[in-house]
Structure 1
Amino acid sequence: MGFDDQEWAATRAWVDKQLPAGREVLNWSVLHGGWTSEMRRLTLDDGTGLVLRSFVKPFFRLHAPGLLNREATILTLLAPYDDIPTPRLHAVDPTAELTDHPSLLMSLLPGSVRVAEDADLDARLDLLAGQLARIHAVVPEERPRTYQAWTSPERVSTPGGPLWERAVEVIQREAPAYEGCFLHRDFHPGNVLFTGSGSGTSVGTGTGTGTGMGEGLRISGVVDWVETSWGPADLDVAHCSTALALLYGAEYGFGFRERYEASGGRPLARDQDHLYWRLLDALAYAPDAEKVAVPWRDLGRTDLTPEVLGARLEAYVGGVWERYA
């Protein structure tokens, strides 16, 4: 059903009440790339853009109060951080008291999600690593909740075989000791917006001019803060690494750690301890990472079939095993 249907009448009325006096929504459009929630861009009659996040799927609707309250808290916390560009919170209804579905209304950031394998890829990955290092440097007065693992040995579904059996055995151990830090927890190219092109390396609200190619490539937004947690930096690095391996090939997942460390990131674990965090993340995608394929295909990556993703995931798991076991 569309946003104009009766199912969304209460949400539209709620949005209208959050707008500045005299303003109204001129049009709306669906934003692609999300999996847990429905995202819409709302354009006001003065050209202002807003984004509406709504949890509609039953599972995520059930968990919406925790997710949306967390995101509202984090957007407020990060508002003063110029080097971590985040949306501005306008309103939140985490229990759907006034809306049809639990919802959060925020500002629209410039830029777009970029997941293509193009000439800017290496520059984007360097910017991603630097941005993650800045996120990990945040020291909040009150820590967010402790991270939650997104799989367990009992829940993993693998294609079977010795490699996967060894990988599952790794996460059967107790989690390694770690020095905790502020985690985005779902940091990957699908949750980062870029503007510009070329080899510029500006981030956040800076202007960046690049090298003769117009405005320099820069990160203009980091979104989706519903899973923000406290835990090991390794876990955020692992999560982005898995996504890069699936999007571009295993070698991109292997190399993200080095980019992160070169950007001044926090010290990461070594050997078996780091392997634990890598596999704890990667195994959550098994057997074929199909759950992330739909939003990525919506963004133009129609080449990411279950077969391609399954092969890349297996190559990545095998590669991290060889490096850290």
Structure 2
Amino acid sequence: MSEPLLSIRDLVTEFDTQDGLIRAVDHVSFDVGRGEVVGVVGESGSGKSVTAMSVMGLVPPNVGRVVQGQALFDGQDLLAASPEEMRRLRGDELAIIFQDPITSLNPVLTVGAQIGEAIRTHRDLSKDDARSEAVELLTAVGVDDAERRVDQYPHEFSGGMRQRVMIAIAIANRPKLLIADEPTTALDVTVQAQVLELLSRTQQEMQSSIVLITHDLGLVAEVADRVVVMYAGRVVETGSVHEIFQEPRHPYTRGLLASRPGLGGSDRLPAIPGQAPSLLAMPTGCKFHPRCDQSDGRAPCWEEEPSLRVIGADADDRASRCHYHEELARERTAETPRPRGRWWRR
């Protein structure tokens, strides 16, 4: 990879709770290349969204804090930036699409006013010019009759249309980096496909980088170039979409792939046993070993936490946090379909 647009290094984010201190993001490191789509996957509570909120400077200061690390964006450390500098970057060079548009949009302002606010915050335009751009953006994201709908309120839009409005706000100033946090949550499969196609088209037209946060590997297979797999606040595997789907090198990744529904219509899907550990009482050694079918009770798994070790010669592309990742090198879930995304069309 050439010089990355975003380079996260050793990121640690903690929260104070009634039960004690929890480390939601634990020494997370990964890169996002220019014009690249990186999928960040894992179960709920794995630290995906908190990583994004940390990078964007949106961790609530009364309960949480970034305690160490760097997030170099185009050479600038976002974690060391002042609040004023972050306000300048957010919505301009950096943008985020939240997973629940109904709570992200202001119910008492028209969608045109909200898109226009995103534009005028960073550019010196009149209200009329900003409204005209809002109409163009709504048209670009597939909202029919945009000239009329620009003056409507969020409750007058369906869930899929509200998500399109959120995308219009996010791309209003042609950001270099777009973070999409579960952008298709609670949408039906048809609308999911439309939103994904829109994100993919937007990325290609603007040559932006995208971080797609999701628990759904199927979405990642459609649009991503590389994958970052997270578990219990840590990165456990990284690699290209091809490598992750065809040759997973961590038992957790293999479990996620195996639990995807296939075309065969089987009545029962394989499941990863147990549940993710409490961040207040993490297991010793490898954090996944209580649920792992690969450890087989071997002492290193419960005595020593593995580091994220590079696989092969490309230090930027392939790594696994497993003591026995070599044993997984030739194993493959027969039911796992090939991803149909960007790598497969090349």
Report TM bin, short chain: under 0.3
* Structure (1 or 2) with the larger CA radius of gyration: 2
Which has the larger helix fraction? Answer: 1
Length-normalised TM-score, structure 1 = 0.25
Which has the larger strand fraction? Answer: 2
